[in-house]
A and B are shown apart, each in its own frame.
Chain A
Amino acid sequence: DTEVTQTPKHLVMGMTNKKSLKCEQHMGHRAMYWYKQKAKKPPELMFVYSYEKLSINESVPSRFSPECPNSSLLNLHLHALQPEDSALYLCASSQGWVGVAKNIQYFGAGTRLSVL
């Protein structure tokens, strides 16, 4: 089973709202990722968590706040977003240190976010 589950599938929020995206995997993976993807463009890496610790933040604005409560769960907290933040947000996971350079990232279906 290579399933990464993201909820919600769609989210509409105003610029003053606070919302959260959720990502879950039960493959025993120890690395988890958030990506942002605009239409017809490649995914852009936002954050990497490795063994529940933040290991990469690609200079993402502070209105995006990641959290990794445990090895199976990854959240992305959203606050005071801008319309240009509207995009597909993808979560991915990979195994961790075992063969790390060769590991496959498995992606969820994404959350389609619209900021009004």
Chain B
Amino acid sequence: AQSVAQPEDQVNVAEGNPLTVKCTYSVSGNPYLFWYVQYPNRGLQFLLKYITGDNLVKGSYGFEAEFNKSQTSFHLKKPSALVSDSALYFCAVRDGVTGGGNKLTFGTGTQLKVEL
């Protein structure tokens, strides 16, 4: 089975500073990786995905992620954090295909807190 790990339960960043939310993966075969964000009492919002191609993936709201095959990592980054970025972030890996659906395995989540 495929898996992802998010080693940090919480990340604190000052507004305007760069942020990084870490994710490492373990897969057999090609990795299909995703980042989602969840604001309080809301569903998950898709940010970006890595399938193949460029190791730097650009996504929504100014986020990007760097895929590193040798380190089996897929860290989420943003050059300048906003207070409104404070939320729960999930890394996920495609863990199988069934019929026309794909099965995702999520990491444990990282709470990002951006302070003034």
Contacts and interface: CB of A to CB of B under 8 A. Distances in A.
Interface of A: 2, 4, 6, 30-33, 40-43, 45, 48-51, 53, 55-56, 88, 90, 92, 94-97, 100-110, 112
A97 B101 CA distance: 7
Contact of B44 (A95, A96, A107): A107
A100 B44 contact: no
A112 B100 CA distance: 28
Contacts, number: 88
Interface in B90-114: 90, 94, 97-104, 106-109, 111
Is the interface on chain B under 10, 10 to 19, 20 to 34, or 35 or more residues? 20 to 34
Contact of A106 (B46, B90, B101, B111): B46
A47 B105 CA distance: 14
A104 B94 CA distance: 10
Given A41-B108, A102-B49, A102-B51, A55 B43 contact: no
Interface of B: 32, 34, 36, 41-46, 49, 51, 88, 90, 94, 97-104, 106-109, 111
A38 to B, nearest CB: 11
B103 A30 contact: no
Contact of B101 (A42, A48, A107): A48
Contacts of B106: 42-43
Given A41-B109, A108-B43, A55 B98 contact: yes
Given A102-B49, A107-B43, A109-B43, A55 B99 contact: yes
Contacts of A100: 97, 100-102
Contact of B90 (A42, A51, A96): A42
B104 A45 contact: yes
A47 to B, nearest CB: 10
B43 A48 contact: no
14 contacts: A2-B46, A31-B99, A31-B100, A31-B101, A42-B90, A42-B106, A45-B103, A48-B103, A50-B101, A53-B99, A55-B98, A90-B43, A95-B100, A103-B102
Given A40-B111, A41-B108, A50 B44 contact: no
